[in-house]
């Protein structure tokens, strides 16, 4: 590791990754935002899914001030974050065949909807099966993943494929295999992961693109406002009444 404090070096690494995805993924971000806008305009619903820490970026766009009210979390019990004990259970569940299909079958998702699947490695059974089954249902799928894993690791799904192989659009987070940006001679393992920073930024860039695309078509984007500003709750109540048939986190 070169000169500079660890904090400085982490910020440099994160900023570098953000610059890369801004430049190299611009076309895919625009395509993903357009896909979500198309779905909303056609009366479809929006869902986001992620397992473990990948779920953080999915949760960040659900019921979010400044975000699209129609984005719903497609939750898989036991794999949303580290709220289960032991925390390793979530990692184990990501490798279970059949779990994704069971979740989709009991969810409100249907043909014509859009699903954003976030998985850093894209190699586990759960995200791969989720993408496969969602497309079989007639949903459009956007994958947010690190494509490097497909070149440097093996799939854990029976098909031998990765999440990226079953998506209509792929957003590459550019995160290196292992998700750690820094090394020090005095520390035996690499450290300082940046995947959450980058993936969350990618998701918000897509949301912004979708909102602007809807406005360009003369459709008011169904955006939420902060409940901590005057009039925020009233605004959100109106949006939820208007789009209540496509919002599932309030039921």
pLDDT digits (tens, 9 = 90+) for 35-69: 999 999 999 999 999 988 899 999 999 999 999 99
| Strand pairing class (114-118; 46-50) | parallel
Query: Across the chain, what does the average pLDDT equal?
Result: 93
Has residue 85 got a pLDDT over 90? no
What pLDDT sits at residue 96?
67
Query: Within 10 A of 114 (CB to CB), how many other CB atoms are there?
Result: 28
pLDDT band at 2 (very low <50, low <70, confident <90, very high): low
pLDDT above 60 for 1: no
pLDDT tier for residue 79 given thresholds of 50, 70 and 90: confident
C-alpha span between 16 and 242 (Å, rounded): 41
> Is the pLDDT score of 192 beyond 60?
yes
In sequence order, the 6+-apart residues with CB closer than 8 A to the CB of 181 are 9, 10, 13, 14, 190, 192, 193, 194
Would you state the pLDDT for residue 108?
94
pLDDT (tens digit, 9 = 90+) per residue, 95-153? 667 778 888 988 999 999 999 999 999 999 999 999 999 999 999 999 999 999 999 99
User: Which of 7-16, 60-69, 175-184, 242-251 shows the lowest per-residue confidence on average (mean pLDDT)?
Assistant: 242-251
Q: Which residue has the higher pLDDT, 236 or 103?
A: 236
Over residues 228-243, the mean pLDDT reads: 96
Strand partners, 170: 143
Question: Over the stretch 211-230, which tens digit does the pLDDT of each residue have?
Answer: 999 999 999 999 999 999 99
**DSSP-assigned beta bridge partners for residue 187:** 184
Distance between terminal CA atoms of the chain? 50
| pLDDT given for residue 243 in this prediction | 95
pLDDT band for 248, please (50, 70, 90 cuts): very high
Residue 33: which of 155, 142, 182, 123 has the closest Cα? 142
How buried is 216 (Cβ within 10 angstroms: 0-12 exposed, 13-18 middle, 19+ buried)?
exposed
The pLDDT score that the predictor gives to residue 103 is 87
- Alpha-carbon distance 57 to 118, whole Å? 8
User: At 89, is the pLDDT very low, low, confident or very high (cuts 50, 70, 90)?
Assistant: low
pLDDT at 5 over 80: yes
């Amino acid at each position: 590791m070169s000169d500079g404090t660890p904090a400085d070096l982490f910020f440099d690494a994160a900023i570098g990754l953000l610059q890369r995805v801004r430049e190299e993924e611009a076309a895919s971000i625009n395509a993903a935002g357009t896909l979500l806008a198309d779905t909303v305009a056609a009366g479809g619903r929006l869902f986001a899914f992620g397992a473990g820490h990948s779920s953080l970026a999915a949760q960040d766009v659900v019921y979010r001030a400044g975000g699209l009210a129609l984005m719903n979390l497609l939750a898989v019990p036991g794999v949303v974050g580290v709220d289960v004990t032991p925390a390793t259970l979530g990692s184990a569940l990501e490798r279970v065949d059949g779990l994704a299909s069971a979740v989709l079958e009991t969810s409100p998702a249907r043909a014509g909807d859009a699903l954003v699947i976030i998985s850093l490695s894209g190699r586990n059974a759960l995200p791969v099966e989720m993408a496969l089954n969602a497309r079989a249902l007639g949903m459009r799928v956007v994958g947010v993943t690190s494509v490097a894993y497909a070149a440097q690791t093996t799939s854990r799904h029976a098909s031998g494929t990765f999440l990226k192989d079953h998506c209509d659009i792929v957003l590459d987070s550019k995160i290196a295999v292992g998700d750690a940006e820094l090394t020090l001679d005095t520390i035996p393992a690499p450290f300082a992961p940046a995947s959450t920073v980058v993936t969350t930024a990618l998701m918000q860039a897509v949301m912004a693109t979708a909102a602007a695309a809807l406005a360009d078509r003369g459709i008011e984007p169904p955006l939420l406002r902060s409940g901590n500003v005057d009039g925020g709750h009233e605004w959100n109540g109106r949006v939820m009444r208007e789009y209540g048939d496509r919002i599932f986190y309030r039921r």
